[in-house]
Structure formats: C-alpha cells, structure tokens
Structure 1
Amino acid sequence: MTTELVAEAIKKAGIAWINVPGGPALGLWVMPLDGSLIVVCGPGEQAAPGLAEAERASVRLRGDNGALIVIVEASVERLTPGSEAWDEIAPQLAGKRLNASGTAEQLVERWAQAGCAVLRLTPADEPPIAAPDLPTGSAAAPPRETPARIKVRRPFRLHRVRKRKP
C-alpha cells in the first residue's frame, strides 16, 4: 500500500538513494513508472553492487526542496530479457537514458547481451518513514577509498611564475 507522499515522491524522482542491507546508500538514476522505480545497473551502466541479487532495498527520496522527505522499503524485481515486462519497460528506460550511444533498440540489445540488470523497485506494504520521524543527523558517510584520491606530485612548470609588485 503506497501513501500519497510516497506516490508523489516516486512520480517526481530522477535520482534516489538506494541501499541493500549491509551496503552503502548509492545515488542512482531512476525512472518512475506506475508507482515503481526502474533502475538499470551493470557493465557499462551505473554500479549498484548487490542490488540485482537483493530481494529488498531501502529507498530514500527527496522533495522539491532537494531534502529527504521519505524513506521507504521496496521489493526488488529483476526483469528478464525477452519477458513481457522487459519488452514493455526496457525500451522506455532506454529512451530516457541520456548520453547513450546508439538508438534505444541498440541500447536494450546491449543491456541484454552484457547482462545488465533492469530492476523494478516497488514500495512494500510497510509504512514509510516521513516527517517528523526522519533522521535529524547527517547521513553523510566518509569518502570511500578510490584511486582518484591518491595524492600526486605537483605539476611541472617550465617557467618560474613571478608575483607582480603592486
């Protein structure tokens, strides 16, 4: 059973913070469709470790002001290539995918061949967490280790830069 707040937040969602039990919350691009969120992840797409194998996930949605307005538990359903749901939903998702190379049909074919997961997240029957029960503290996590954070030496300068005197 979806509350009006959850339904409205899902309709306006373009990004959602999704986490599977035991994993970090990841900001993922989503497409709202009939009261559910559709997500694509896998090779060549956004990384969402563990989401394709999960049965449930926690979804955090933001409001018009950009702040968290609702946290809802959702069931995760993986759409299989060639199924009726895949044939209906995957082309719509491919059409909304920005900066994709090729046509929507080529993108759907690539998803099927590469083993990408197209997932439907449907809100569970549990009551959502909304104001005033939302967490008040920061949900910020420390940065994860990545090669992009390794300090490198300063760039080489061919000529000495002199400061101008006033």
Structure 2
Amino acid sequence: MSILSVYHHRTPEQPNKVLTYATDIAATLAEHGLDFSQHELTARPRPGGGRETVVQALGNELQALLGMHRCTAFEVLDCDGEEGRPQAGEEEHAYPVDEVFVVVSGRAQLVVRRGEWVFAVLCERGDTLRVPGGSGRWLSLGDRPFCVAVRLLEKEGNSAPVHGDGAKPGEFPGMDEL
C-alpha cells in the first residue's frame, strides 16, 4: 500500500496528514506541484540482479515509461539488502530538472520538501512520482533495502545533485519508522 505522510518542516515528529488511497495521494501532491501515478508493470526484476538485468527485464516497459514522461535518460537503483545501503540520496539534495522516480520492485520512501511542507511518499511497485526540478528531496530505503527503481531524466548529464541546507532528513521518520 502506498502511503503519503505530510509534515510541516517545523514539526517532523508528527505528520499533519496521512493518506493511503492513491487518488487522495495524487490530489494532495498535485496541489504542491508533484505528480503521483500508478502503472501496471509486467516485468518483475528481483533486487540484486544489477543494472543490465533490470534493463533487460523491463525491456519495452522502460521505453514506454521514458516516452510517457518525455525523458531520454535513466539511472537504475538496485538494492537487495545484502550489499549494504546505498549512500547516494540519503541527504537532502535537488536536481536542476524534473526527476521521475518509478519503483519497479520492492518499496522505497521518497521524501520531497516543497516550501514549508515535507511529503514522505512510501512507494511500492508501479508507483511513479514526478518531482519538479529544484525541489529538495531524499530517499529512505530502510535498514535492509530491497528495491529496484528507475530514475528517469529529461536528458543525459542531469544527474548531478545540488546539496542544500534545507530540511534535516534524520529528523523525519524513515521508511522503517512508519
């Protein structure tokens, strides 16, 4: 089940709102310039197979996602809990362009700061979240990450994050604390 927890940046210990219906999640995020949707994926790559295995398993579905979101480049996040935690994405950062985050297998929590509000979206297989460029964000994968996700980009070369002094990710509940 996808879950959206909405926090005011000054009260990270208690969400103002928690939503579990996809339509409610999408409507609330849309009010703040974020786009949440769900897609039926037929490919089922198992975490830990590596980038090429994920790309091969997704095949035409990856091309369809790229076309649907007007993107030409992508990165693969593949964590099976055995190789340790990925370090990238755990601190707040922003990208200069829109990012589309798609969970292919497992679960991941993508947290986005927009103004005074922080949106923690626990995403499952098929969940897609478009984050506007310049928005602060971070990723929580839990203590034993088990996830395959793709990050779609407008074009190659847009992957260098800019780190900011915004929210403090450690103050907000992570994926394992929901």
TM range (shorter): under 0.3
Higher strand share: 2
Q: TM-score, normalised by structure 2?
A: 0.24
Of the two, which has the highest radius of gyration? 1
